[in-house]
Chain A
Protein backbone atom coordinates (compact mmCIF):
# COMPACT_ATOMS: atom_id res chain seq x y z
CA UNK A 1 0.00 0.00 0.00
CA UNK A 2 1.28 3.47 -0.83
CA UNK A 3 0.69 5.23 2.45
CA UNK A 4 1.85 8.61 1.21
CA UNK A 5 -0.61 8.51 -1.65
CA UNK A 6 -3.40 7.60 0.72
CA UNK A 7 -2.48 10.32 3.14
CA UNK A 8 -3.20 12.95 0.51
CA UNK A 9 -6.79 11.75 0.64
CA UNK A 10 -7.00 12.39 4.37
CA UNK A 11 -7.76 15.86 5.49
CA UNK A 12 -6.50 16.39 8.06
CA UNK A 13 -3.99 13.58 8.51
CA UNK A 14 -5.37 11.24 11.13
CA UNK A 15 -2.95 9.62 13.55
CA UNK A 16 -5.19 6.66 14.24
CA UNK A 17 -4.97 5.28 10.71
CA UNK A 18 -3.05 2.27 11.99
CA UNK A 19 -5.79 1.38 14.43
CA UNK A 20 -8.46 1.55 11.75
CA UNK A 21 -6.41 -0.59 9.40
CA UNK A 22 -5.79 -3.16 12.11
CA UNK A 23 -9.53 -3.28 12.75
CA UNK A 24 -10.18 -3.76 9.02
CA UNK A 25 -7.71 -6.63 8.90
CA UNK A 26 -9.45 -8.33 11.84
CA UNK A 27 -12.93 -7.84 10.44
CA UNK A 28 -14.81 -11.03 9.62
CA UNK A 29 -17.19 -9.67 6.98
CA UNK A 30 -20.71 -10.89 6.51
CA UNK A 31 -20.52 -13.76 3.99
CA UNK A 32 -21.34 -12.54 0.50
CA UNK A 33 -24.45 -14.70 0.24
CA UNK A 34 -25.89 -13.04 3.36
CA UNK A 35 -24.64 -9.52 2.73
CA UNK A 36 -27.16 -6.73 2.36
CA UNK A 37 -25.58 -3.45 1.33
CA UNK A 38 -28.26 -1.02 2.39
CA UNK A 39 -26.21 1.62 4.22
CA UNK A 40 -25.09 4.50 2.06
CA UNK A 41 -21.74 6.24 2.33
CA UNK A 42 -23.05 9.18 4.34
CA UNK A 43 -24.65 6.89 6.91
CA UNK A 44 -21.51 4.74 7.00
CA UNK A 45 -19.42 7.79 7.88
CA UNK A 46 -21.87 8.62 10.62
CA UNK A 47 -21.57 5.13 12.09
CA UNK A 48 -17.78 4.99 11.93
CA UNK A 49 -17.25 8.71 12.71
CA UNK A 50 -14.10 8.75 10.61
CA UNK A 51 -12.96 11.05 7.82
CA UNK A 52 -13.96 10.05 4.27
CA UNK A 53 -10.34 9.23 3.46
CA UNK A 54 -10.26 6.64 6.24
CA UNK A 55 -13.39 5.03 4.86
CA UNK A 56 -11.71 4.76 1.46
CA UNK A 57 -8.71 3.13 3.14
CA UNK A 58 -10.97 0.67 4.93
CA UNK A 59 -12.58 -0.31 1.64
CA UNK A 60 -9.12 -0.74 0.12
CA UNK A 61 -8.27 -2.99 3.06
CA UNK A 62 -11.17 -5.37 3.07
CA UNK A 63 -14.37 -3.58 4.10
CA UNK A 64 -16.90 -4.90 1.55
CA UNK A 65 -18.96 -2.38 -0.37
CA UNK A 66 -20.99 -2.08 -3.52
CA UNK A 67 -20.85 0.80 -5.96
CA UNK A 68 -18.72 3.90 -5.88
CA UNK A 69 -19.08 7.56 -4.94
CA UNK A 70 -22.52 8.51 -3.76
CA UNK A 71 -23.77 5.08 -4.85
CA UNK A 72 -21.37 3.29 -2.52
CA UNK A 73 -23.19 1.09 0.00
CA UNK A 74 -22.23 -1.17 2.90
CA UNK A 75 -23.67 -3.91 5.06
CA UNK A 76 -24.71 -2.52 8.44
CA UNK A 77 -23.24 -5.47 10.35
CA UNK A 78 -19.79 -4.93 8.83
CA UNK A 79 -19.84 -1.27 9.77
CA UNK A 80 -21.01 -2.03 13.29
CA UNK A 81 -18.34 -4.68 13.91
CA UNK A 82 -15.61 -2.56 12.38
CA UNK A 83 -16.58 0.46 14.44
CA UNK A 84 -16.94 -1.52 17.67
CA UNK A 85 -13.43 -2.93 17.47
CA UNK A 86 -11.78 0.10 15.83
CA UNK A 87 -10.32 1.43 19.05
CA UNK A 88 -11.06 4.93 17.74
CA UNK A 89 -13.02 5.79 20.86
CA UNK A 90 -15.44 7.81 18.80
CA UNK A 91 -17.30 5.43 16.52
CA UNK A 92 -21.02 5.16 17.14
CA UNK A 93 -20.87 1.45 18.12
CA UNK A 94 -18.08 2.09 20.64
CA UNK A 95 -19.83 5.05 22.22
CA UNK A 96 -23.21 3.40 22.45
CA UNK A 97 -21.91 0.07 23.70
CA UNK A 98 -19.63 1.59 26.28
CA UNK A 99 -22.62 3.45 27.62
CA UNK A 100 -25.06 0.55 27.37
CA UNK A 101 -22.73 -1.78 29.26
CA UNK A 102 -22.06 0.58 32.16
CA UNK A 103 -24.51 -1.26 34.38
CA UNK A 104 -22.13 -4.22 34.41
CA UNK A 105 -19.63 -2.22 36.46
CA UNK A 106 -22.19 -1.53 39.18
CA UNK A 107 -22.22 -3.33 42.52
CA UNK A 108 -23.04 -7.03 42.22
CA UNK A 109 -26.34 -6.56 44.07
CA UNK A 110 -27.49 -4.25 41.27
CA UNK A 111 -27.28 -7.08 38.72
CA UNK A 112 -29.80 -9.07 40.72
CA UNK A 113 -32.14 -6.66 42.46
CA UNK A 114 -35.77 -6.32 41.38
CA UNK A 115 -36.28 -3.80 38.59
CA UNK A 116 -39.38 -2.45 36.89
CA UNK A 117 -39.32 -1.86 33.15
CA UNK A 118 -41.78 -0.42 30.69
CA UNK A 119 -41.52 -1.82 27.19
CA UNK A 120 -43.31 -0.21 24.28
CA UNK A 121 -43.12 -2.11 21.01
CA UNK A 122 -44.66 -1.22 17.66
CA UNK A 123 -44.37 -3.58 14.74
CA UNK A 124 -45.14 -2.64 11.16
CA UNK A 125 -44.91 -4.37 7.82
CA UNK A 126 -41.47 -4.00 6.28
CA UNK A 127 -42.82 -4.15 2.75
CA UNK A 128 -43.67 -1.05 0.76
CA UNK A 129 -47.27 -2.09 0.99
CA UNK A 130 -48.69 -4.56 3.48
CA UNK A 131 -50.44 -7.47 1.73
CA UNK A 132 -53.78 -9.10 2.32
CA UNK A 133 -54.76 -10.93 5.50
CA UNK A 134 -51.98 -9.63 7.71
CA UNK A 135 -51.05 -11.68 10.76
CA UNK A 136 -48.81 -10.41 13.56
CA UNK A 137 -47.01 -12.49 16.16
CA UNK A 138 -45.12 -11.17 19.15
CA UNK A 139 -43.34 -13.30 21.74
CA UNK A 140 -44.81 -12.41 25.10
CA UNK A 141 -42.19 -11.60 27.74
CA UNK A 142 -42.36 -14.08 30.61
CA UNK A 143 -40.48 -12.56 33.57
CA UNK A 144 -42.01 -15.31 35.78
CA UNK A 145 -39.46 -17.72 34.33
CA UNK A 146 -36.78 -15.84 36.26
CA UNK A 147 -38.81 -15.01 39.35
CA UNK A 148 -40.34 -11.72 38.17
CA UNK A 149 -43.86 -10.90 37.07
CA UNK A 150 -45.91 -8.93 34.58
CA UNK A 151 -47.43 -5.86 36.18
CA UNK A 152 -49.64 -4.94 33.23
CA UNK A 153 -49.79 -5.40 29.50
CA UNK A 154 -51.83 -4.24 26.59
CA UNK A 155 -51.73 -5.26 22.94
CA UNK A 156 -53.83 -3.42 20.37
CA UNK A 157 -55.75 -3.31 18.16
CA UNK A 158 -58.06 -6.28 17.86
CA UNK A 159 -58.60 -9.58 19.57
CA UNK A 160 -55.41 -11.23 20.80
CA UNK A 161 -54.89 -14.96 20.79
CA UNK A 162 -52.19 -16.36 23.05
CA UNK A 163 -50.61 -19.66 22.06
CA UNK A 164 -47.36 -21.21 23.25
CA UNK A 165 -46.06 -17.88 24.51
CA UNK A 166 -46.90 -16.09 21.27
CA UNK A 167 -49.40 -13.25 21.11
CA UNK A 168 -51.14 -13.29 17.76
CA UNK A 169 -53.51 -10.85 16.15
CA UNK A 170 -54.79 -10.03 12.72
CA UNK A 171 -55.74 -6.86 10.91
CA UNK A 172 -54.23 -4.12 8.81
CA UNK A 173 -53.33 -1.82 11.67
CA UNK A 174 -49.81 -2.31 12.97
CA UNK A 175 -50.00 -3.57 16.56
CA UNK A 176 -48.51 -1.97 19.62
CA UNK A 177 -47.55 -3.91 22.73
CA UNK A 178 -47.11 -2.04 25.97
CA UNK A 179 -45.99 -4.09 28.90
CA UNK A 180 -44.69 -3.31 32.36
CA UNK A 181 -42.70 -6.02 34.07
CA UNK A 182 -40.72 -6.56 37.21
CA UNK A 183 -37.59 -8.59 36.68
CA UNK A 184 -35.67 -10.30 39.41
CA UNK A 185 -32.25 -11.90 39.61
CA UNK A 186 -30.76 -14.61 41.74
CA UNK A 187 -27.12 -15.44 42.28
CA UNK A 188 -26.32 -19.07 41.58
CA UNK A 189 -23.29 -21.09 40.58
CA UNK A 190 -22.91 -24.27 38.62
CA UNK A 191 -22.00 -27.16 40.87
CA UNK A 192 -21.38 -29.78 38.18
CA UNK A 193 -17.64 -30.04 37.43
CA UNK A 194 -18.50 -31.28 33.95
CA UNK A 195 -20.74 -28.31 33.18
CA UNK A 196 -18.18 -25.91 34.61
CA UNK A 197 -15.49 -27.42 32.42
CA UNK A 198 -17.63 -27.23 29.29
CA UNK A 199 -18.40 -23.57 29.90
CA UNK A 200 -14.80 -22.75 30.79
CA UNK A 201 -13.57 -24.37 27.58
CA UNK A 202 -16.05 -22.30 25.59
CA UNK A 203 -15.07 -19.07 27.32
CA UNK A 204 -11.34 -19.79 26.91
CA UNK A 205 -11.77 -19.66 23.14
CA UNK A 206 -12.11 -15.88 23.53
CA UNK A 207 -14.55 -15.61 20.67
CA UNK A 208 -15.22 -12.10 19.52
CA UNK A 209 -18.80 -10.93 19.94
CA UNK A 210 -20.16 -9.56 16.68
CA UNK A 211 -23.41 -8.68 15.02
CA UNK A 212 -24.24 -10.79 11.98
CA UNK A 213 -27.42 -11.77 10.17
CA UNK A 214 -29.20 -14.43 12.21
CA UNK A 215 -28.91 -16.96 9.41
CA UNK A 216 -25.11 -16.82 9.65
CA UNK A 217 -25.05 -17.37 13.38
CA UNK A 218 -27.48 -20.26 13.28
CA UNK A 219 -24.47 -22.18 11.90
CA UNK A 220 -22.28 -21.83 14.99
CA UNK A 221 -19.56 -24.18 13.76
CA UNK A 222 -18.75 -21.84 10.86
CA UNK A 223 -18.95 -18.62 12.87
CA UNK A 224 -16.92 -19.99 15.76
CA UNK A 225 -14.27 -21.36 13.40
CA UNK A 226 -13.90 -17.76 12.20
CA UNK A 227 -13.45 -16.68 15.82
CA UNK A 228 -16.73 -14.78 16.13
CA UNK A 229 -19.93 -15.46 18.02
CA UNK A 230 -23.14 -13.92 19.14
CA UNK A 231 -25.69 -15.01 21.69
CA UNK A 232 -27.48 -17.30 19.24
CA UNK A 233 -24.43 -19.13 17.96
CA UNK A 234 -22.96 -19.49 21.45
CA UNK A 235 -26.23 -20.78 22.90
CA UNK A 236 -26.78 -23.27 20.11
CA UNK A 237 -23.29 -24.71 20.36
CA UNK A 238 -23.33 -24.96 24.15
CA UNK A 239 -26.78 -26.52 24.08
CA UNK A 240 -25.48 -29.20 21.75
CA UNK A 241 -22.38 -29.89 23.85
CA UNK A 242 -24.24 -29.94 27.15
CA UNK A 243 -27.00 -32.17 25.80
CA UNK A 244 -24.33 -34.54 24.49
CA UNK A 245 -22.96 -34.71 28.03
CA UNK A 246 -26.35 -35.95 29.19
CA UNK A 247 -27.78 -32.82 30.79
CA UNK A 248 -31.27 -31.39 30.39
CA UNK A 249 -30.67 -28.12 28.59
CA UNK A 250 -32.46 -25.64 26.34
CA UNK A 251 -31.79 -22.26 24.79
CA UNK A 252 -33.98 -19.31 25.55
CA UNK A 253 -34.66 -16.08 23.73
CA UNK A 254 -35.44 -12.74 25.34
CA UNK A 255 -34.23 -9.20 25.80
CA UNK A 256 -31.43 -7.36 27.54
CA UNK A 257 -33.25 -4.51 29.22
CA UNK A 258 -31.49 -1.27 28.51
CA UNK A 259 -31.32 1.60 26.08
CA UNK A 260 -30.27 -0.58 23.17
CA UNK A 261 -33.19 -3.03 23.57
CA UNK A 262 -31.01 -5.93 22.48
CA UNK A 263 -32.50 -9.28 21.55
CA UNK A 264 -30.68 -11.93 23.48
CA UNK A 265 -30.29 -15.68 23.87
CA UNK A 266 -28.75 -17.88 26.54
CA UNK A 267 -29.05 -21.45 27.80
CA UNK A 268 -30.78 -22.94 30.80
CA UNK A 269 -29.47 -26.20 32.19
CA UNK A 270 -30.50 -28.49 35.02
CA UNK A 271 -27.45 -28.73 37.25
CA UNK A 272 -26.40 -31.71 39.35
CA UNK A 273 -28.27 -30.22 42.33
CA UNK A 274 -31.51 -30.36 40.34
CA UNK A 275 -31.77 -26.58 39.93
CA UNK A 276 -32.23 -25.03 36.48
CA UNK A 277 -29.59 -22.34 36.01
CA UNK A 278 -29.07 -19.69 33.36
CA UNK A 279 -25.73 -19.73 31.59
CA UNK A 280 -25.11 -16.62 29.53
CA UNK A 281 -21.72 -16.88 27.83
CA UNK A 282 -22.21 -13.84 25.62
CA UNK A 283 -23.17 -11.54 28.47
CA UNK A 284 -19.96 -12.76 30.12
CA UNK A 285 -18.02 -11.96 26.92
CA UNK A 286 -19.56 -8.50 26.85
CA UNK A 287 -18.60 -8.09 30.48
CA UNK A 288 -14.97 -8.44 29.44
CA UNK A 289 -15.50 -5.47 27.10
CA UNK A 290 -17.29 -3.28 29.63
CA UNK A 291 -15.01 -0.69 31.21
CA UNK A 292 -14.81 -1.27 34.95
CA UNK A 293 -16.84 -4.48 35.03
CA UNK A 294 -15.39 -6.77 37.69
CA UNK A 295 -14.34 -10.36 36.95
CA UNK A 296 -17.16 -11.36 39.25
CA UNK A 297 -19.62 -10.15 36.63
CA UNK A 298 -18.48 -12.85 34.22
CA UNK A 299 -18.80 -15.45 37.00
CA UNK A 300 -22.31 -14.23 37.76
CA UNK A 301 -23.34 -14.70 34.13
CA UNK A 302 -22.45 -18.39 34.26
CA UNK A 303 -25.20 -19.71 36.51
CA UNK A 304 -27.16 -16.74 37.83
CA UNK A 305 -30.31 -15.04 36.66
CA UNK A 306 -29.77 -11.33 36.15
CA UNK A 307 -32.55 -8.77 36.47
CA UNK A 308 -31.39 -7.10 33.27
CA UNK A 309 -32.59 -10.08 31.27
CA UNK A 310 -36.23 -10.56 30.28
CA UNK A 311 -37.08 -14.07 29.07
CA UNK A 312 -39.68 -15.23 26.58
CA UNK A 313 -40.82 -18.77 25.83
CA UNK A 314 -38.84 -18.93 22.58
CA UNK A 315 -35.58 -20.71 21.78
CA UNK A 316 -32.41 -19.17 20.40
CA UNK A 317 -32.87 -17.90 16.88
CA UNK A 318 -36.66 -17.93 16.90
CA UNK A 319 -38.02 -14.51 15.90
CA UNK A 320 -39.43 -12.38 18.69
CA UNK A 321 -41.74 -10.71 16.18
CA UNK A 322 -43.21 -12.11 13.00
CA UNK A 323 -45.50 -10.85 10.31
CA UNK A 324 -47.25 -12.48 7.39
CA UNK A 325 -49.24 -10.82 4.64
CA UNK A 326 -50.20 -11.66 1.13
CA UNK A 327 -49.73 -15.33 1.98
CA UNK A 328 -46.04 -15.16 2.86
CA UNK A 329 -43.64 -14.15 5.62
CA UNK A 330 -42.82 -10.43 5.45
CA UNK A 331 -40.02 -8.42 7.06
CA UNK A 332 -40.94 -6.64 10.29
CA UNK A 333 -40.17 -3.02 10.95
CA UNK A 334 -39.99 -2.99 14.73
CA UNK A 335 -39.60 -0.10 17.11
CA UNK A 336 -38.91 -0.85 20.74
CA UNK A 337 -38.53 1.56 23.59
CA UNK A 338 -37.53 0.33 27.03
CA UNK A 339 -37.71 2.58 30.04
CA UNK A 340 -36.54 1.94 33.53
CA UNK A 341 -38.92 3.08 36.21
CA UNK A 342 -37.55 5.71 38.51
CA UNK A 343 -38.08 3.46 41.53
CA UNK A 344 -35.22 1.26 40.31
CA UNK A 345 -32.86 4.07 41.17
CA UNK A 346 -34.55 4.66 44.49
CA UNK A 347 -34.01 1.00 45.38
CA UNK A 348 -30.34 1.20 44.42
CA UNK A 349 -29.80 4.35 46.45
CA UNK A 350 -31.47 2.81 49.47
CA UNK A 351 -28.92 -0.02 49.53
Chain B
Protein backbone atom coordinates (compact mmCIF):
# COMPACT_ATOMS: atom_id res chain seq x y z
CA UNK B 1 0.00 0.00 0.00
CA UNK B 2 1.32 3.44 -0.79
CA UNK B 3 0.51 6.85 0.51
CA UNK B 4 0.11 7.90 -3.11
CA UNK B 5 -3.36 6.40 -2.95
CA UNK B 6 -4.31 9.04 -0.39
CA UNK B 7 -5.50 12.10 -2.26
CA UNK B 8 -5.88 14.23 0.85
CA UNK B 9 -2.82 16.27 1.81
CA UNK B 10 -2.25 16.28 5.56
CA UNK B 11 -1.28 19.29 7.57
CA UNK B 12 0.47 18.97 10.91
CA UNK B 13 -2.70 20.20 12.61
CA UNK B 14 -4.96 17.73 10.91
CA UNK B 15 -2.60 14.84 11.67
CA UNK B 16 -2.63 15.80 15.32
CA UNK B 17 -6.41 16.14 15.44
CA UNK B 18 -7.06 12.87 13.67
CA UNK B 19 -4.55 10.93 15.76
CA UNK B 20 -6.12 12.31 18.95
CA UNK B 21 -9.57 11.42 17.65
CA UNK B 22 -8.58 7.84 16.88
CA UNK B 23 -6.86 7.41 20.25
CA UNK B 24 -9.98 8.74 21.98
CA UNK B 25 -12.14 6.14 20.25
CA UNK B 26 -9.98 3.33 21.58
CA UNK B 27 -9.08 4.63 25.03
CA UNK B 28 -11.17 3.09 27.79
CA UNK B 29 -9.97 5.47 30.51
CA UNK B 30 -10.52 8.70 28.65
CA UNK B 31 -12.07 11.30 30.91
CA UNK B 32 -11.18 14.46 29.02
CA UNK B 33 -10.08 15.31 25.50
CA UNK B 34 -6.98 13.42 24.44
CA UNK B 35 -3.83 15.53 24.46
CA UNK B 36 -0.51 14.85 22.73
CA UNK B 37 1.17 14.68 26.13
CA UNK B 38 -1.07 11.80 27.28
CA UNK B 39 0.72 8.51 27.84
CA UNK B 40 -0.95 5.67 26.02
CA UNK B 41 -0.93 3.05 28.76
CA UNK B 42 -0.60 4.96 32.01
CA UNK B 43 -2.98 7.86 31.26
CA UNK B 44 -5.34 6.36 28.70
CA UNK B 45 -5.41 2.70 29.76
CA UNK B 46 -4.60 1.29 26.34
CA UNK B 47 -3.58 -2.36 26.62
CA UNK B 48 -1.50 -4.22 24.05
CA UNK B 49 -4.52 -5.27 21.99
CA UNK B 50 -5.82 -1.71 21.86
CA UNK B 51 -2.36 -0.47 20.89
CA UNK B 52 -2.30 -2.88 17.97
CA UNK B 53 -5.75 -1.75 16.91
CA UNK B 54 -4.52 1.79 17.15
CA UNK B 55 -1.54 1.05 14.92
CA UNK B 56 -3.74 -0.67 12.35
CA UNK B 57 -6.21 2.22 12.58
CA UNK B 58 -3.43 4.74 11.91
CA UNK B 59 -2.28 2.77 8.87
CA UNK B 60 -5.80 2.85 7.47
CA UNK B 61 -6.61 6.45 8.38
CA UNK B 62 -3.41 7.85 6.94
CA UNK B 63 -2.83 5.20 4.25
CA UNK B 64 0.55 4.49 5.73
CA UNK B 65 2.90 1.66 4.90
CA UNK B 66 2.91 -1.15 7.45
CA UNK B 67 3.97 -0.04 10.90
CA UNK B 68 6.31 -2.64 12.34
CA UNK B 69 5.60 -3.69 15.88
CA UNK B 70 8.88 -2.44 17.30
CA UNK B 71 8.12 1.01 16.00
CA UNK B 72 4.64 0.83 17.50
CA UNK B 73 6.03 -0.49 20.80
CA UNK B 74 8.46 2.42 21.01
CA UNK B 75 5.57 4.90 21.02
CA UNK B 76 4.61 5.68 24.61
CA UNK B 77 2.55 8.84 24.16
CA UNK B 78 0.09 10.40 21.75
CA UNK B 79 2.86 12.79 20.70
CA UNK B 80 4.99 9.77 19.75
CA UNK B 81 2.16 8.52 17.54
CA UNK B 82 1.83 11.89 15.82
CA UNK B 83 5.57 11.91 15.23
CA UNK B 84 5.40 8.34 13.90
CA UNK B 85 2.62 9.18 11.45
CA UNK B 86 4.52 12.21 10.21
CA UNK B 87 7.74 10.24 9.86
CA UNK B 88 6.08 7.37 8.01
CA UNK B 89 4.34 9.78 5.69
CA UNK B 90 7.68 11.43 4.90
CA UNK B 91 9.44 8.06 4.47
CA UNK B 92 6.85 7.20 1.86
CA UNK B 93 7.48 10.41 -0.03
CA UNK B 94 4.60 12.58 1.09
CA UNK B 95 5.34 14.94 3.93
CA UNK B 96 2.49 15.23 6.38
Query: Is B56 at the interface (CB under 8 A from chain A)?
Result: yes
Q: Interface residue count for B (Cβ, 8 Å)?
A: 17
Q: Are A100 and B52 in contact (CB under 8 A)?
A: yes
Asked whether any CB of chain B lies closer than 8 Å to the CB of A337, the reply is yes
Cβ of A33 to closest chain B Cβ, rounded Å? 28
How many angstroms between the C-alpha atoms of A337 and B50 in the bound complex? 13
* Contact between chains at B41 and A340 (CB < 8 Å): no
A142 interface residue, CB < 8 Å from B? no
A309 to nearest B CB, angstroms?
15
B53–A95 touching, CB < 8 Å? yes
Query: Which residues of chain A are near B66, meaning CB under 8 Å?
Result: 102
| CB-defined contacts of B55 to chain A, threshold 8 Å | 99
Chain A residues touching B, range: 20 to 34
Are B56 and A342 interface neighbours, CB within 8 A?
A: no
A103 with B76, Cβ < 8 A, contacts A95-B56, A337-B41 known? no
Q: A106-B68, A258-B69, A337-B41 are in contact. Are A99 and B74 (CB under 8 A)?
A: no
Contact of B76 among A99, A115, A260, A339 (CB under 8 A): A339
Q: Are B52 and A338 in contact (CB under 8 A)?
A: no
Chain A residues within an 8 Å CB radius of B51: 259
* Inter-chain contact A345/B69, CB cutoff 8 Å: no
Q: Which of A92, A260, A340 contacts B74 (CB 8 A)?
A: A340
**For residue A120, which residue of chain B has the nearest CB?**
B41
Task: Find residues 38-69 in chain B having any chain A CB closer than 8 Å to their own CB.
Answer: 41, 48-49, 51-53, 55-56, 66, 68-69
A-B contact pairs, 25 of them (CB 8 A): A92-B49, A92-B53, A95-B52, A95-B53, A95-B56, A99-B52, A99-B55, A100-B52, A102-B66, A102-B69, A103-B70, A106-B68, A115-B70, A259-B51, A260-B48, A260-B52, A338-B73, A339-B76, A340-B70, A341-B74, A342-B74, A345-B68, A345-B70, A345-B71, A345-B74
- Chain A's nearest CB lies how many Å from the CB of B41? 6
